[in-house]
Structures are given as C-alpha cells and as structure tokens.
A and B are shown apart, each in its own frame.
Chain A
Amino acid sequence: GENVEQHPSTLSVQEGDSAVIKCTYSDSASNYFPWYKQELGKGPQLIIDIRSNVGEKKDQRIAVTLNKTAKHFSLHITETQPEDSAVYFCAATSDTGRRALTFGSGTRLQVQP
C-alpha cells in the first residue's frame, strides 16, 4: 500500500519568512495530493491540492510543487503570518483502488510574531 513520509515534524519561522514542508510517497499510481491545515481541536481543512498532470499550483501565498519522477511534493507558504500556525498534513491517493487518503505524520508550524 501507499506510504507517505513528511518532514520536518516541527518548523518555527519568523513572521514574514517562508515555510517549506516536504513529503514523499511510495505508490507510483498515486495521482492526487492534497494538503490540510489542522488547528487545535478542529478537523483538517483542505488548503490546496494538486493532481499528477501538473507540476505546480499556486493560490495566493500558498503553492504546491510535485515531482512525479522523484515521488515527492512540497508545500510552500510565503509571507507567513501568526494565523498560519497550525499542524499541516500532506496526503496521497489515486483514482484507482481505495481512494482513501494516506496521510503524512504532520508538521507543526509555529510562526513567531
């Protein structure tokens, strides 16, 4: 089955700096890669996703890149703000098979004001 590894487990940045979170996946059949933000006591919130037919996608301060050959994808947050502080999860799945998301272990991002 699919295995998703996520790094780093914790990340502390100064407000205004950029943050990068990286994930690798094992199943070459995976073709959908969402990112979720989870605040304390809440459910995961979908913030951006990418499908395997594109290499990059951007939404305001958030971007995701995908390297299918190397089987890794990354989340980039620019101009970080204190409200970006949360736990971020990457995930992977495919159109075929189970369609269930396989999640990474999470990155706790702390933005220092």
Chain B
Amino acid sequence: NAGVMQNPRHLVRRRGQEARLRCSPMKGHSHVYWYRQLPEEGLKFMVYLQKENIIDESGMPKERFSAEFPKEGPSILRIQQVVRGDSAAYFCASSPTGTSSVGEQFFGPGTRLTVL
C-alpha cells in the first residue's frame, strides 16, 4: 500500500517564477493537509482540503499561494512569483475518509523548494 506521494522532491526556481507542488494521498484518504517547514523549525499548517473543497486555508498567505484538490488527480499547492522567503520544505499529509473524530495524519517525503 503506497504511502503519501509528493513530487517533485526537489524544486529550484528563480525569483518571480511559479512553483507547483503535487501530492497524492494514501489510497482511501480524501483529506489532505499542506504544511511548511523552515530550516530547524517545526511544521506550520497552511491549508486543509477535501475533494473539490477547501475546508480551512487560515494558515496560507493571502497572496501568491493557492491550493486545490480536484475530483481527479493530485492535490496541487501553487506559489506564484516566488521570493527567497518561500524557500522551505513543503509537506503534504493525508488522513482517512469519513471519520467523525480527528484521524491520524500520514506525511509524504516533502518537496524542498529553493528560490535563487
């Protein structure tokens, strides 16, 4: 049973370019979370999505950042006009579907974004 998959694993962009990060949740999971980790720090919540719905985006910067989780295909975190401060590791996590209580979150290997 494959775990959470993220690609690319490493992404280098120049200032002003766009970055697209992809996340495929574990089989049977339809809840996806994105977190950002700066060097030597803990993970910070960005956005929580279910299929075709953004449930909570309170941790996401208001500008340049967007996320989607379409009916078909992976979840996408998009960063427009990247700046050096966007350099970080971005992790996706998924949790099981249809539970009334909060479920375990399983993390992918992350995408390490470097902005030159």
Q: Which of A43, A95, A102 contacts B107 (CB 8 A)?
A: A43
Cβ distance A3 to chain B, nearest Cβ, rounded Å:
12
User: B105 near A46 (CB under 8 angstroms)?
Assistant: yes
The interface on chain B, measured as residues whose beta carbon lies within 8 A of the other chain's beta carbons, has a size of 26
Cβ distance B109 to chain A, nearest Cβ, rounded Å:
5
User: A34 near B104 (CB under 8 angstroms)?
Assistant: yes
User: A103 near B104 (CB under 8 angstroms)?
Assistant: no
Cβ distance B51 to chain A, nearest Cβ, rounded Å:
16
The interface on chain A, measured as residues whose beta carbon lies within 8 A of the other chain's beta carbons, has a size of 25
Q: Which of B6, B59, B91 contacts A100 (CB 8 A)?
A: B59
Known contacts A98-B48, A98-B58, A44 near B102 by CB under 8 Å: no
Output the nearest chain B residue to A104 by Cβ-Cβ distance: B42
Output the nearest chain A residue to B4 by Cβ-Cβ distance: A43
Q: Which of B6, B107, B109 contacts A36 (CB 8 A)?
A: B107
